[in-house]
Chain A
Amino acid sequence: MSMFNNFLVALGLKEQPSTAASAKERLQVVVSHQRRHRHSPDYLPMLEKDILAVIAKYVEIEEDKVDIKFQRGDSISTLEVNVELPAGASMRAKVRKIAETSEDVIKAKTAEKKMKSELFDA
Chain B
Amino acid sequence: MAKVIVVTSGKGGVGKTTTSAAFAMGLAMKGHKTVVVDFDVGLRNLDLIMGCERRVVFDFINVINGEAKLHQALIKDKRIENLYILPTSQTRDKDALTKEGVEIIINELKKDFDFIVCDSPAGIESGALMALYWADEAVIVTNPEVSSVRDSDRILGILASKSYRAEQGMSAVKEHLLLTRYDPTRVEKGEMLKVDDVLEILSVPLLGVIPESPAVLQASNVGAPVVLNEKSAAGQAYMDAVKRFLGERIPQRFIEAEKRGFFDKLLRRSA
Q: Enumerate 26 A-B pairs (CB-CB under 8 Å) in ascending A order.
A: A12-B269, A15-B190, A18-B190, A19-B191, A20-B187, A20-B191, A20-B193, A20-B197, A24-B193, A24-B197, A24-B201, A27-B149, A27-B193, A30-B150, A31-B150, A31-B153, A31-B201, A31-B202, A34-B150, A34-B154, A34-B157, A35-B153, A35-B157, A38-B157, A38-B160, A39-B161
Task: Evaluate contact between B146 and A23: CB separation under 8 angstroms.
Answer: yes
Please report the C-alpha to C-alpha distance between residue A16 and residue B154 in the assembled complex, in whole angstroms.
Answer: 32
Residue from B145, B191, B201 whose CB has the most chain A CB atoms within 10 Å: B201
Task: Evaluate contact between B192 and A20: CB separation under 8 angstroms.
Answer: yes
Please report the C-alpha to C-alpha distance between residue A28 and residue B150 in the assembled complex, in whole angstroms.
Answer: 9
Please report the C-alpha to C-alpha distance between residue A67 and residue B263 in the assembled complex, in whole angstroms.
Answer: 56
Q: Which of B156-174 contact A (CB under 8 A)?
A: 157, 160-161
Task: Evaluate contact between A18 and B157: CB separation under 8 angstroms.
Answer: no
Q: Which residue of A lies closest to B154 (CB)?
A: A34
User: Does any Cβ of B come within 8 Å of A26's Cβ?
Assistant: yes
Q: Taking beta carbons and an 8 Å cutoff, which residues of A are in contact with B?
A: 12, 15-16, 18-21, 23-24, 26-28, 30-31, 34-35, 38-39
Task: Evaluate contact between B146 and A26: CB separation under 8 angstroms.
Answer: yes
Partner of B201, one of A12, A21, A28, A39: A28
Q: Taking beta carbons and an 8 Å cutoff, which residues of B are in contact with A?
A: 145-146, 149-150, 153-154, 157, 160-161, 187, 189-194, 197, 200-202, 269-270
Please report the C-alpha to C-alpha distance between residue A34 and residue B160 in the assembled complex, in whole angstroms.
Answer: 13
Please report the C-alpha to C-alpha distance between residue A28 and residue B270 in the assembled complex, in whole angstroms.
Answer: 33
| CB neighbours of B154 from chain A (8 A) | 34
Please report the C-alpha to C-alpha distance between residue A38 and residue B156 in the assembled complex, in whole angstroms.
Answer: 10
| CB neighbours of B157 from chain A (8 A) | 34-35, 38
Task: Evaluate contact between A27 and B146: CB separation under 8 angstroms.
Answer: yes
| CB neighbours of B189 from chain A (8 A) | 18
Q: Which residue of B lies closest to A18 (CB)?
A: B190
Chain B nearest CB, measured from A34 CB (Å)? 6
Residue from B145, B153, B154, B194 whose CB has the most chain A CB atoms within 10 Å: B153
| CB neighbours of B270 from chain A (8 A) | 12
Chain A nearest CB, measured from B159 CB (Å)? 11
| CB neighbours of B160 from chain A (8 A) | 38
* Contact A20-B194, Cβ < 8 Å, known A27-B201, A31-B201: yes
